[in-house]
């Protein structure tokens, strides 16, 4: 199945919900270990965004952590959504 959003590249998804299932990973930020639960699509996007910003995954999560006001997993999702929206709006004529 292919999910599409106008102006965004197609994303291949699996019918079994693999990309929608939460994946919990431990990460060290600000000198302490924490866990972060994200869907695989968000882990992929987070890695891509970190590379685009020239940061390690931990450094990008630490940056998001410093700027957040709520749950870290939610803050990561919102950050990635804002980056995607910014990229789409910068390509609009």
> Per-residue pLDDT tens for 39-62?
999 999 999 999 999 999 999 999
Q: What is the mean pLDDT of residues 66-80?
A: 95
What SS3 class is residue 9? Answer: coil
Domains of the chain: 22-91 (1.10.3990.20)
Please give the residue that has the higher pLDDT: either 9 or 50.
Answer: 50
Above 70 in pLDDT, residue 4? no
Distance CA 42, CA 80 (A): 8
How many alpha carbons fall within 13 Å on the CB side of residue 75? 14
Which pLDDT score, from 0 to 100, does residue 72 have? Answer: 95
pTM of the model: 0.76
Which pLDDT score, from 0 to 100, does residue 15 have? Answer: 52
**Strand-pair partners of 37:** 24
């Amino acid at each position: 199945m292919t999910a599409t959003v106008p102006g965004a590249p197609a994303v291949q998804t699996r019918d079994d919900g693999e990309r929608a299932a939460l994946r919990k990973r431990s990460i060290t930020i600000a000198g302490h270990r924490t866990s972060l639960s994200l869907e695989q699509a968000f882990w992929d996007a987070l890695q891509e965004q970190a590379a685009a910003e020239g940061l390690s995954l931990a450094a990008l999560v630490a940056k998001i952590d410093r700027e957040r006001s709520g749950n870290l997993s939610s803050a990561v999702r919102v950050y990635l959504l804002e980056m995607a929206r910014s990229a789409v709006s910068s390509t609009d004529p």
